[in-house]
Structure 1
Amino acid sequence: MRFAALLTLATTLLTPLTLALPSESSGQLQASPADLSALAAKLKLKVNRKPGKGSTCPETKNPRRKPHSKRLYTDNQITKAFMVGATYAANDRQVGEEGLKFPCGKNLMEFPIQEDNQEFKRGGTDEIPDRVVFEYTKNKKEFIVKYCGVMRHGPGKDFLLCPE
């Protein structure tokens, strides 16, 4: 009997406290930016076209940047930068798409390819003249990429194609 009385008393005292605590309604359960990135990370990366040949970027003397000598990239170096850039993009971590005029497709992205053969991680790209360019499309399950080519920052804001 005492137990029942204590239980009734405890329920009476704690019910107003429990009802006063905030709770989430279904209208408040929206995806945060971190959740959206997690969703993007679940997109399967599908490659429609990989690099197959090396490319040679021409020597440039850009007044806005330091001069860069002619540079040959192997297909392995290009593939490495392409795959890292495509993976970044599939995970919603874009590096660049400066209104690229590249004869490849409509939705284009670029990713730095470094002269020292190291993988670009994060940071400024002003001192990295060369880029791997790829076209992308996506649907609910896949992020689909197609290799387009390599380009170099040229004079002014121009880009120069680096032929295969």
Structure 2
Amino acid sequence: MHAVVGLLLAGGISVSAAAQDCAPDRVAVQGDRGEALFRVEIADDPQERAQGLMFVERMPMMEGMLFIYERPQAPSFWMRNTLIPLDMLFIGPDGVIRHIHENAEPLDETPIPGGDGILAVLEINGGMAARLGLKVGDALRHPAFGADAALPCN
């Protein structure tokens, strides 16, 4: 994992700042309370998605993992071999959060369904979504969501 990139910002950001923030290793989440910027690792193939954050003992506050699928689907996660609590943000192809599962319990093998039509899942430290005021309907800026996203990179 990489160093902390940023915390919740007050208000919106300019187009030039948005373009600078649009990189594969960064995700911006924008909602009513402003914008949160996370440094992320990408899991975009079956092996990386299967490994996820297993065996990670600690994750810096504004970091996470972004799971990206080839096409929208109904993913289900579990916490096998995952040692830290996680919030899971399930995101549609438009970059909008459709479901949040908060504080997934470490080592629990109970399935955590994300719903239908999910293109990506952002895993962050447990409790972080509530702390930052992230909610269903907030939008993410990341190259994976393309030009038609709610918050496009361009």
TM (normalized to structure 2)? 0.25
Larger strand percent: 2
TM (normalized to structure 1)? 0.24
Q: Which has the larger radius of gyration?
A: 1
